[in-house]
Structure 1
Amino acid sequence: MTMLRKIYFSFGFLMVFCLSSVAMAEELTARQVVEAFQDQLIDVMKQGKELGFKGRFDKLDAAVKKSHDLPKIARIVVGKQWEELTPDQQAKLESVFTELSVSAYAHNFKEFSGESFSFVSEEETGRGGVVVHTNLKIPGEKDVKFDYMMKKKDDSWQIINIIADGVSDLALKRSDYTSVLNREGFDKLIAKINEKIESYAKQ
């Protein structure tokens, strides 16, 4: 191997090593994903009144999509009936469910009165997931316990369920969605979700 080829080879190896190191450094842990999202929630709450619903929605849109596996959650909440939907229906459900999720955050985290999140603990689940336990501290009130169920998607951790004070958001939605699908059909489910989105925007 000539000296010039050695230099090229060494430089190429160094570049690959550096890029790999950067990628590893940028990969966030499950806890870091949760804490980054919670920081954004608090930031939006502090600006809540000035932003209004649309401003809060716009600020949280990318944050929710980045930290939550919304397509997977949408599939889980309709259960076995997902396979019975057409591709267009599946895409429609994912779309309105995503809008609903962002709208719910924009509605529920709209005012700030000294709230803060604190990390409690983290544990691995039996199926390669992680649960991040946190508390929402509200001045003058009892802490609200938030447990984030996390799964790895590609190279990042994402939220697939949130349990607030022992109540699973995923279980509640699954019960509601499957009930409407069974009794009233797909179009009625989409209509009900859109009604909820509109009610969040008005409050």
Structure 2
Amino acid sequence: MKRTILSFAAGIALFGLLTATAWAGVPTDTVKEGVDKVISILQDPKYKGAKAISGEQLDRLRAAIRQFFDFDELTARAVGRPWLKFTPQQQKDLSASFQELLEKTYISKFEGYNGEKFDYQKEMAQGNLAFVQSQVQANDGKLLAVNFRLIQKDGHWLIYDVIGEGISIMEIYRSQFAQELQNGTPDSLIGKVRDRVADIAAGRAPADDKAVLNDAAKQSATAKQ
């Protein structure tokens, strides 16, 4: 249940579907700015009646979210200390592949948005880091805790982690990255993330954050044969 909530929250956060009922402070204003841009794309009459988000609309949404979500920061923190041993090119390659994986994993949740509201409860900032607490009011009236971690870079606040009902995107991927790096290398991790992206794109693996790397998906496929 918690993982389902996180998937939903991450999907709408990564793709900007946040309808704020209240906000305070620059970090939360950053989220609202992304909201306005994304909602304007979603409400563009030219896409009315489309069965799925794709093509030009998807490209515009991706461009919008990259303005306020820091995928490089999320990647570095998900890898942890081993990140310092990555070459600059390895860091660039993993960040790019991980960003694509996140988009493919959570995009299906984006299509499931049904008017849920975000109510911002509290904002805490210290130095270049901020933490925004919020609640999501589901259509059945339930309140779900969804929090955001932000970092300030070059005078701009950017989201780098989403926490849904106590489950963090960063922590989900950190454990799986650590497992691969324990016996593998930065290049093997990059390769597995890329393989996972390719498998999702080809329909060989589900867009599910329970299995970031291909091993779990392949085991499941083998068991069904």
Length-normalised TM-score, structure 2: 0.65
CA distance in 2, matches of 1:39, 1:117: 14
Larger radius of gyration: 1
Distance 1:94-1:128 versus aligned 2 partners, 3 A rule:
closer
Q: CA deviation at 1:148?
A: 0.7
**Residue in structure 1 matched with residue 171 of structure 2 by the alignment:** 171
**Residue in structure 1 matched with residue 30 of structure 2 by the alignment:** 33
Per-residue displacement from partner, 1:76-127 (whole Å, max 9, x unpaired)?
21122122222321221121122223333422211232322222221224x4
Amino acid at match of 1:138: A
CA distance in 2, matches of 1:29, 1:136: 20
Counterparts in 2 of 1:30-69, with a 5 A limit? 30-39=27-36, 50=50, 52-55=52-55, 57-69=58-70
**Residue in structure 2 matched with residue 89 of structure 1 by the alignment:** 90
CA distance in 2, matches of 1:44, 1:200: 25
Q: CA deviation at 1:136?
A: 2.4
Distance 1:59-1:104 versus aligned 2 partners, 3 A rule:
farther
Q: CA deviation at 1:170?
A: 0.9
Structure 1 vs Structure 2: percent identity of aligned residues?
25
CA distance in 1, matches of 2:200, 2:37: 19
Amino acid at match of 1:34: V
What secondary structure is seen at the aligned counterpart in 2 of 1:147?
strand
In the alignment, is the contact (CA less than 8 A) between 2:128 and 2:153 conserved in 1?
no
CA distance in 1, matches of 2:190, 2:48: 28
In the alignment, is the contact (CA less than 8 A) between 1:137 and 1:143 conserved in 2?
yes
C-alpha RMSD over aligned residues: 2.9
What secondary structure is seen at the aligned counterpart in 1 of 2:66?
helix
Q: CA deviation at 1:159?
A: 1.0
Runs of 4+ in 1 over 6 A off after TM superposition: 43-49
Q: CA deviation at 1:45?
A: 6.9
**Residue in structure 2 matched with residue 147 of structure 1 by the alignment:** 147
Higher helix share: 1
Length-normalised TM-score, structure 1: 0.71
Amino acid at match of 1:99: E
Q: CA deviation at 1:40?
A: 5.2
In the alignment, is the contact (CA less than 8 A) between 2:163 and 2:169 conserved in 1?
yes
In the alignment, is the contact (CA less than 8 A) between 1:34 and 1:148 conserved in 2?
no
CA distance in 1, matches of 2:73, 2:113: 31
Q: Could you tell which deviates more after superposition, 59-68 or 165-174? A: 59-68
CA distance in 1, matches of 2:168, 2:39: 22
In the alignment, is the contact (CA less than 8 A) between 2:90 and 2:187 conserved in 1?
no
CA distance in 1, matches of 2:171, 2:63: 24
In the alignment, is the contact (CA less than 8 A) between 2:104 and 2:200 conserved in 1?
yes
What secondary structure is seen at the aligned counterpart in 2 of 1:194?
helix
Q: CA deviation at 1:139?
A: 0.7
Distance 1:96-1:116 versus aligned 2 partners, 3 A rule:
same
In the alignment, is the contact (CA less than 8 A) between 1:150 and 1:157 conserved in 2?
yes
What secondary structure is seen at the aligned counterpart in 1 of 2:59?
helix
